[in-house]
Structures are given as C-alpha cells and as structure tokens.
Structure 1
C-alpha cells in the first residue's frame, strides 16, 4: 500500500500535521484510540494553548529553534480553528485556555479535519520494521493481527516522548531517529513532582498554598501542593524542568505577604497572642504546626524581638530543600530533551541529512512550560511539517 505521507503517532502533533500535508496520508498509532493524551489533559477539559505563548516559554539546547514554527502558526491561529468548530472555551489563570466542555471536543475537531483532508487513521497498529528506500520509506506493520507492508515518500515521527508510559508512551521516535543518524539530547522527566526519600511531608499531604519556588536558574510563582511523596502543584512542576539531581531548591511560603510588618503591627495590637496562632492566619495551620518543629516560633508575639521576627521571615521566605528525585516518567507531563534540533530544519521540521524524514511535537528537543505551551508546540510544529510536505 503506497502513501505520500505516513505519520507515526496519532497525538496532537501527528493529527495536526495530517490535515495539512495534502496527498494520500496515513496516520498510525498503537493505541486503541487517537489523542489519548489529549483526552486526559487539563482534567478532561484540555488546556489546548496559552494566550502568552512565545519562544521564551520553551526549553531546548537551541532556544531559537522553536521561533519559526511558533511565529507561523500562533495560539490565535489555533483559537480560530477551535472557534470554527464552535467549541466553547474559557481562560483560567496565566493565560491558560480550556474547553468549557470536554477535551474530546478537541480530538473530534482534529479527526474531522483529518477526514475532510482525506487522511486515513489506523489505530491498534504496531510498527514492526522500517527501512529507507530510493524513493522514501518502507514499513511493515501489524494491524489487528495481520502483517501489512507500506511505502511512503514522507515519514513523520510524532510518537512523543517517554512520559506517562501507562498511556503507551515509548522511546520509539528516538530509536527511529538514531536508526537514520539523528542525534538525541539527554532525556528526562519534566513537569513532574519532586520526591523526598524520608517522606518528610507525608503528614502534610493535601495542604496547598501559593508559593514561589526557585533555584539558581529561574523562579515560579504558583500553587504548591504537599503530597505523601513530596511536593507537587504548578510551581513544582514548572521548576522540575530546570532542576537536576542533588540541587537545592528555595521555597518562599510568603511571596506576596509583608509578614514582618504584619507581625510587628500585631505585636503592638495583640501581643499576648501566640506567634503560631498569628501565623496560622496567613499559612495553613497544619503547615505552621509542622514548621514549628524546625523553625523557632515559640512564645507570644510580645516575646518576639525585631531580630527574631526577621529571622522567622527569612526562614519562611527561603526554605532550603533538597529533593531526592522526581516521580519520573510515570507521572511526568512531558519529556525534556529529544531529537537534536541541530539535525532538523526549524522551518520544515525535516531531517537535514535524510530527505523526507520529519520530526514534530514532544519527540523533538523542545519542551514547553506547564499551561498549554506543549500543546501549542504540537500545533505549530505539526503545521510546519504538514505545510512543508504539501509544498514539496
């Protein structure tokens, strides 16, 4: 069976690419349905892009690589597509855009666009063999127990990274890239919770609050969540992409509170009140109780000198912690690293030394922040490859 383009992976990037390619297009996935990661995203409502998406929100060994694709297919282009399909949406915090209804609406939209473009979709299909030919590529696949031989002029790697293996994620894109001589940068779990070997926060599981998490590279102000394994929440997931094993992190529990002034004023107005009681007005009570065992905060407000209050505020605004690790690919939202952008064209996503081979989405060494940025990279890179193939 001969196709112009075969796309491996029926996720966000693969489906986006499929309806821009033109010609006879086949999308293959080993899962039972297309868009499984889309389906579970955003609590089932799909945080499909971000109003503020720009190159600075992405990590890569080459921070300039993503600029071309993002500029030629922006968040507003995708919002227009969503609008044409009459999918209602809303903005949450920090520019995050979600469906009012279900993430399944985004999947259906992409499948409708594929159908309109004449692209075929095969699910429950496993790749068994792949080789280069003079005119393109030859593939052998197992489709519902039958071996099928395929050929194509263009092959697109859109199988994603290693994150969430229970959803079927594998390193297939990296294996194929290596087969054809493309480099792979170091990969690691990203947008993932921190763990602590001593379960030090087990008693705080479920406690959350706004916080600022920092390391020597960057800082994020978003919610922090204590878990029985360690730390999670948006601020943690964001920082995890910039963290390496053995490094300290700084946790500011009072990022927007002038706590020294508050405590000094309360010392005048109600000095007999216990310091921990006053702190519990500004921080979760369970957290104050926990911290009281490691930070001096005994006695009443009247007992506290300015120097003591300053030390307390310093401790709460720069709590130094050293995670033992992360929860890994099991819960990571994305994979950091991937197919080396040095080996790809930033305009077309085509391999520089392998004509007809393209790589898009999470498989590539471009990783977005939490909040719809990785979906936008999928849309933009899928569009870049699809339109390049259509123009060949």
Structure 2
C-alpha cells in the first residue's frame, strides 16, 4: 500500500449519471474532486440507455412519477435542479434531441453525446476521474492523522492498493440492476457499515416471465407488440407490451413491474377504450355470418387472435357470430377487457433497468443527500430508495440528486 495518502475535498464512488453530475457541480465550486469508477470506462449505463439514444429526461417531471417509502423525499432535489436545467445544458452543447411519446426526450444521434457533454464539463471544472478503481474499504479518519479529512479509503487500482483521504464521500455506485454494466450492492454495504437502514429491494422496470401455459402462448407470439392497459395493485398504464420467449416485456410491462410483487396478478385489457362485450354483441347482429376471429382481426393481430381463439373458444372456432349466444360473447368480451395473468416472476436484475428500493430516505437529508447521522457521507442516484417510471425519470433523479449533493460537499 502507498505510504502517502492523497487527499481530496470530495471523493465520489461511481462515474455514472449521478456521480458525474455531482462531480461537475462540486468541482465548479472549486472543490478538489476525485471520481472512482471500478469499470474500464465511465457511463456504461448512459451509453446503453434508450436503445443507445439515452432518454435523458422528460418534459413533465413530478413527484408522482417516482416510487419511494417517502413519496415526498424527491421533491426538494427535483425542484432544485429541474428537467429544464438539464435541457438547458444539452442545448448549450447543441446536442440534437427529439420528443417522443409521453414527453420523453431522446438524443437524435447517440447517447455518447450526453456522456461526452458530462465528461467535458468534468474536465473543464477540474474533476479527476479514475477507472479500474475498486473500493476495498472505507473508514472514518483519525483526526490527528487526517486533519480536516473525515474518511480514509483503500482503493485497488489495477492490483495496486492506494490510500485516499477526503472530507466528503459520495456514494453514487448505482444498484443491483444489470450487473454486466457494473451494477452491484457496494452502496448498500457502505450504508449498513455506517448504520443507515435499507428498504426492501426488487428488480424494477423489468420484463415478466411465465412458467405455466402462458409461457408457450408468449413463445408463439414472440416479437409481437400491441397496445394494452396493464394493471396491478390499483395502478394502470396504457402502453405497448411485447411478447417474448420468456413472457412479456415492452413499456407497459416494465412500468407495471415497479408496482408488482411476487404472487400478484396482472390484468391485461387487450382492447383499451372499448367495451369489448358490447362491441361483440353488436357485431353479432351486424356481422352474423362472420367468424369471431375475423371480427377480432380488424382490431388485433391475426396471430394473437388465433392464440386467443385456442384459449377461449376453440370448440366454436368455425361457428358464425350469429350462432354465439350473447352470454358467450359477453364472457369473451370480459376476458378481452380483463384478462387475469399470474407471472411466475420477473427476469430479475440481469435485465432490470433499475433497482426498486435502496438506502432508506429516513436517514438522508432531502436537501443535501447527506446522511443525517454521519457527517460528510452522501448517497445519490439509484442507490437511494427513489425509483422513477420509465421515460427519463431515473436520469432526472440522477441529475437532481447529484446536483443537490454537489452544492454542499
């Protein structure tokens, strides 16, 4: 180990969205900032997000777009650094972007534009970034050794251990989602070490899997997308779902996964905005000689209709609509509007876009992100129990929480 420790005002663990924003903000205040990243390059999650286009924020951001044990916690940071502040930075760099459905903002060219912007801001402010740097340990400094420094860190840098001291230590390490991009639980370990509580964690914004007959149903339709209303636990989203070889994905499935717990049922309305029972009974009189699958194929993909026919009316597959009783059609219509499915689980952290839950906000200042009972220790971004919807909200939380901490570290 190096005998002489290097000292910084601020050391940030993690060079993702929140860590880079914190580094920029602190360094612009004249603080000596070091960012430690264990991966071989920074911002991996930024680069892969939004299909490589980075859904960097949303035109409409409210506390209701976030899930937390304390739904009010996120408000202070979101108000301190808004979506308009980040959009302003993007526009200063002349990065072309577009607005998509539900007010989501994406880069027109590449997510690299966002990462390069953040790195240029870091360089301009003098923030130092080191990759291949893995935290081995962190402990409070001995006052007689470190003077004004509060923490001493041991860091493994390409098989060489070095010691660092800092006054403020910021945990921006992300969470458990997508371990191949660097997701880990190190931030939780640090929280526990210093006495902060954790809320229960789950994979969030994640596809569903099925193990029963529904798995085969999904396999046959893999690649098919359709707009549905998906509901669970009194929460609904109307968006596309995508059938996969394992189950269902797509925006509606990812959104509803944030509100789903193992064992819960999800309800699929295949014809949102249409009372399917009334529509089918009316169709019986106006299209009496037509087959039910033919009528449904005007609104749904033929492949989906064929699989639904096998599930719900295969014995009457070749019966004209006029020969169905109203009761039969009402029953099929109710299933179309209220299809009850029970996933066996989700695809887990391997493909989850976020981790739901995290460091309990009860132990953190909503204004500064500092641990209430541990001076100089901060938690920002995904490691905190604040989880956003799909649509740029998790990035906005990263920008806002990173900025809030950067103002005071």
TM-score (norm 2): 0.93
| Deviation larger for 133-142 or 247-256 | 133-142
SS of aligned partner of 2:84: helix
Where does residue 334 of structure 1 map in the other structure? 354
- CA-based RMSD of the aligned residues comes to 1.3
SS of aligned partner of 2:199: coil
| Separation (CA, whole Å) in 2 of partners of 1:122 and 1:20 | 18
Among 96, 108, 124, the alignment partner of 2:116 is: 108
**Contact 2:281/2:330 (CA < 8 Å) preserved in 1?**
no
Where does residue 7 of structure 1 map in the other structure? 12
| Deviation larger for 199-208 or 318-327 | 199-208
Where does residue 21 of structure 2 map in the other structure? 16
Among 104, 110, 125, the alignment partner of 2:133 is: 125
Where does residue 360 of structure 1 map in the other structure? 380
| Separation (CA, whole Å) in 2 of partners of 1:340 and 1:366 | 9
| Separation (CA, whole Å) in 2 of partners of 1:82 and 1:366 | 24
SS of aligned partner of 1:98: strand
CA apart distance, 1:269? 3.8
Residue 274 of structure 2 corresponds to residue 257 of structure 1: yes
Q: Deviations over 1:233-271 (max 9, x none)?
A: 111111111011111111000002344454345434432
Where does residue 148 of structure 1 map in the other structure? 162
| Separation (CA, whole Å) in 2 of partners of 1:126 and 1:376 | 26
SS of aligned partner of 2:311: coil
Where does residue 247 of structure 2 map in the other structure? 230
| Separation (CA, whole Å) in 1 of partners of 2:359 and 2:277 | 49
Among 14, 37, 42, the alignment partner of 2:45 is: 37
Q: Deviations over 1:208-230 (max 9, x none)?
A: 10001111230110001111111
TM-score (norm 1): 0.97
| Separation (CA, whole Å) in 2 of partners of 1:257 and 1:76 | 37
Residue 48 of structure 2 corresponds to residue 28 of structure 1: no
Where does residue 136 of structure 1 map in the other structure? 150
CA apart distance, 1:202? 1.4
Residue 176 of structure 2 corresponds to residue 176 of structure 1: no
SS of aligned partner of 1:20: helix
Residue 225 of structure 2 corresponds to residue 220 of structure 1: no
Among 37, 47, 63, the alignment partner of 2:55 is: 47
Among 287, 301, 307, the alignment partner of 1:290 is: 307
SS of aligned partner of 1:310: helix
**Contact 1:217/1:242 (CA < 8 Å) preserved in 2?**
no
Seen in structure 2, the aligned counterparts of structure 1 residues 217 and 261 have a Cα distance that, compared at 3 Å, is: closer
Any gaps of 5 or more consecutive residues in structure 1? none
Any gaps of 5 or more consecutive residues in structure 2? 1-5, 144-148
Where does residue 95 of structure 1 map in the other structure? 103
Where does residue 188 of structure 1 map in the other structure? 202
Q: Deviations over 1:131-153 (max 9, x none)?
A: 11133110111223322111000
**Contact 1:7/1:157 (CA < 8 Å) preserved in 2?**
yes
The count of aligned residue pairs is 389
SS of aligned partner of 1:94: helix
Among 150, 164, 182, the alignment partner of 2:178 is: 164
| Separation (CA, whole Å) in 2 of partners of 1:216 and 1:166 | 31
| Separation (CA, whole Å) in 2 of partners of 1:60 and 1:266 | 46
Q: Deviations over 1:98-151 (max 9, x none)?
A: 001100000000001111111000011111121111331101112233221110
Runs of 4+ displaced beyond 4 Å:
none
**Contact 1:193/1:326 (CA < 8 Å) preserved in 2?**
yes
SS of aligned partner of 1:41: helix
| Separation (CA, whole Å) in 2 of partners of 1:217 and 1:178 | 33
| Separation (CA, whole Å) in 2 of partners of 1:247 and 1:128 | 40
CA apart distance, 1:364? 0.2
Where does residue 146 of structure 2 map in the other structure? none
| Separation (CA, whole Å) in 2 of partners of 1:89 and 1:257 | 35
Where does residue 71 of structure 1 map in the other structure? 79
**Contact 1:4/1:25 (CA < 8 Å) preserved in 2?**
yes
| Deviation larger for 153-162 or 211-220 | 211-220
| Separation (CA, whole Å) in 2 of partners of 1:306 and 1:182 | 60
**Contact 2:122/2:128 (CA < 8 Å) preserved in 1?**
yes
| Deviation larger for 145-154 or 333-342 | 145-154
